[in-house]
A and B are shown apart, each in its own frame.
Chain A
Amino acid sequence: MDARIDYYPTHEDNGFRFRRGRPLPFGATMVPNGVNFSVFSSAATACTLVLFRKGDAKPMVEIPFPEEFRVGSVYSMIVFDLDYDRLEYGYRVDGPWDPDHGYRFDRRKILGDPYAKTVGGRDGWRSPPHWDDIYPHRARLVFEDFDWEDDYPLEIPIEDLVIYEMHVRGFTQHPSSRVKHRGTYAGIREKIPHLKALGVNCIELMPIFEFDEWENARQHPETGEWLVNYWGYSTLGFFAPKAGFAATGRLGMQVDELKNLVKELHRNGIEVILDVVFNHTNEGDHRGPTLSFRGLDNKTYYMLTPEGYYFNFSGCGNTLNCNHPVVRNLVLDCLRYWASEYHVDGFRFDLAAILGRDQNGTPLPNPPLLESLAYDPVLAKAKLIAEAWDAGGLYQVGSFPAYGRWAEWNGKYRDALRRFLKGDLGMVGEMAARIQGSPDLYPYRGPTASVNFVTCHDGFTLYDLVAYNDKHNEANGEHNQDGANDNDSWNHGAEGETDDPDINRLRRRQIKNALTLLLLSQGVPMLLMGDEIGRTQGGNNNAYCHDNDITWVDWTLLEKNAELFRYVREVVAFRHAHPVLRRRAPFTHTDVVGSAYPDISFHGTQPWTPDWDGTSRVLAWMLCGKHARVPDDSIYVVANAYWEALPFTPPAPPPGAWWHVFANTSMAPPEDVHEVGKEPRITDSAITVGPRSVMVLVAR
């Protein structure tokens, strides 16, 4: 390569030798003997490359791009003999300052590269920032030399997933985690045995793209505690892993540590889905800092009002202009990079409805970005999951443009399950749809379009859902004004912690009921980190700013709530053991295999007589095992949300088979659940299902 003429310098400036670069790929790319820098701006009048020696306050050189280096709207150059490990780079961009027309160029600022593979400035979590740095979030290079051996994405069929949503830091930061490197990628790796024991085969990481935990940080007006951007739904570097989540971040090895985590998870049969935030950036509105996009090409990257202000469909100040062709390519390049370079298995898109809006914010019938993602060759096997709503009022659960590829967080599933469990009237009909994978929402896409959940990071934990009627967000410092008011929660007789044994028993049962129905529903179940051991946030339903005991998993609960953990583990195992619970296609409600049962049938206290009345609180259904994609046992589930015990007569089991009790949430452990294959047989033709209880039978 060294002999090729195009890799020799043609220019020199202050001892730095360079030449015309290549416009693609964008970003900083290592080439023989040098680095190719390429950056786009549609309206700049000039551009300067700014190079720093890592950590230095002042640049070591600023090299203006000669006009002849520009191709179209792309500035590129190769600079030779740079020390990759100690290099930080940025750009100064000249152009008009004319906010009324959307231009916000400011050559005083040094701007980050949208394609930066790592971003400096937050190398350790909550390390004190250098507030007076002229370039606080510096683009850096990375080596892509990780030894993946034979690893590649697992490509587990989506209907077979049990997803576990987690926050990287919150999962192991609590001292009780007993891991060596708390709050990090390495810490998760140490906890793989817990994930395996639980039986989840996919973790969904809350944002790990580099963000600034100090963004909008403030002190609680009364307690003085620092409230930070803990969740990280505010991206600073779309291609850069969060260094503060790596034990090796200060040594610059966050890329390796994260890749190693992915590789180890894959070896253990666990996929990795990233929660990605493409709806806005951390530059905020017109009052926000100029860090990158705003100064590079404000009009291209952001949705602007005719007056030049920022549309705010994200609720976070600005809205990324995702259906501009240039931005669309940025998103595609980014996801391809994470899929190919980090072996990530899929993506969950935060406020994804925004990705379907045009450049003026109008929802598109055929959004180019969503279509491109669905048909992208590199992403062809990656899971694509939409949070199908946004903060601008667009709610697309069931109607998100899916192209046969996209799944959705099913918010209606969450709401229906919560209401049914607390005994609301008129919920039986809707629950019947929800446990089928919501055919009312996904009649053609089928159950695999539905990611079912009862809790997620946003809102109550499952324990808090059954322990609080109201949110308790005082610790957020906004007088309990923030966070959702409609939680469909119920405290069962006392608000918060209580020593009333009856209430505590009922709460435990309700947690089991919720998780049983969730894991036995068609669709893709998602659990929230810690719900399997009864994690509480003390009733806080909007814990985005807490880097403390509110959000950290307290691992002592694993011992305290061992009963619950055992229960959840067995139900997860039951789901994995029974393909009849994991259909790809909607039910037909007919007997298409000649088993004498339809694929799904509904029942009441008497078989074949479901009670669809608005006053009913009972739902029972049977799944015929012969209709599964591979022959399976039949399963009968009774959900009694009524406050009294009720007698049920199950439908006759298939010839030669007997009903066995897998789970009965009204029973005390160890009778609440049985190991798969070791379920005790029942001999009576009728069963009693306890008050507010779920019972699961399996015929074999």
Chain B
Amino acid sequence: MAFKVSSAVTGDVVSLTLAGELDATSAPTFKTEIDKAVGQTPHSLVVQVKDLTFMASAGLRVLIYAKQKLGSRVALYVVAPQETILSTLRMTGFDKSVYIVDQWPPMETDARRPA
């Protein structure tokens, strides 16, 4: 499925919603959106990935890029990853750098910053 990304701003929260396959072909599109989002100096960046079905190294690189651009004071949320993508995020250790939550806004008990 083709990659799609859309963005929305609510107060100081920027939300990006991804769908389809995030690979080397589609990663530049995602990166452009990340750059725009960072330019708005948000308090939180929320990446909705419920409908993202595949993520290759290039996609992970953009997420890492986003985290690095935002710095440690801005929270990056990855919302509702599918099992394979969640698994990838865990194996590569990216789950340690971001908040992975089941829904946005997160439940009180859901905002886990993995140990």
Contacts and interface: CB of A to CB of B under 8 A. Distances in A.
B24 A86 contact: yes
A403 interface: no
Contacts of B94: 147, 256
A453 to B, nearest CB: 31
Contacts, number: 68
B93 A252 contact: no
Contacts of A107: none
Given A252-B56, A252-B57, A263-B93, A145 B64 contact: yes
Given A83-B24, A147-B96, A260-B93, A253 B88 contact: yes
A145 B68 contact: yes
B101 to A, nearest CB: 19
A248 B27 contact: no
B27 A85 contact: yes
Nearest to A259: B93
Contacts of A149: 96
A251 B96 contact: no
Most buried by A among B55, B65, B93: B93
B40 interface: no
A17 interface: no
A54 B24 contact: yes
Given A85-B57, A85-B58, A248 B68 contact: no
B22 to A, nearest CB: 11
B97 interface: yes
A264 B95 CA distance: 12
A22 B58 CA distance: 26
Interface residues of A, number: 26
B61 A145 contact: yes
A296 to B, nearest CB: 28
B41 interface: no
B109 interface: no
Interface residues of B, number: 21
B107 interface: no
Nearest to B115: A267
A256 B60 CA distance: 10
Nearest to A180: B87
A514 interface: no
Interface in A140-155: 143, 145-147, 149
A458 to B, nearest CB: 30
Contact of A253 (B65, B67, B91): B91
B10 interface: no
A253 B24 contact: no
Contacts of A213: none
A35 B65 CA distance: 18
A257 interface: yes
Contacts of A145: 61, 64-65, 68
Contacts of B87: 180-181, 247
A185 B91 CA distance: 8
A147 B93 contact: yes
A147 B57 contact: no
B61 A85 contact: yes
Contacts of A143: 61, 64
A146 B57 contact: no
Contacts of B64: 143, 145-147
A248 B88 contact: yes
B93 A85 contact: no
Contacts of A246: 91
Given A54-B24, A252-B57, A247 B91 contact: yes
A263 B92 CA distance: 10
Interface in B87-115: 87-88, 90-94, 96-97
Nearest to A187: B91
Contacts of A253: 56-57, 60, 88, 91-92
Interface of B: 24, 27, 55-58, 60-61, 64-65, 67-68, 87-88, 90-94, 96-97
Which 9 pairs from chain A and chain B are nearest by CB?
A: A260-B93, A252-B57, A256-B92, A85-B24, A85-B58, A186-B91, A147-B97, A86-B24, A145-B64
13 contacts: A54-B24, A85-B27, A143-B64, A145-B68, A146-B93, A147-B96, A149-B96, A181-B87, A247-B91, A251-B57, A253-B60, A260-B91, A263-B93
Given A145-B61, A246-B91, A251-B56, 8 more contacts: A85-B27, A85-B61, A147-B94, A147-B96, A181-B91, A247-B91, A259-B93, A260-B92
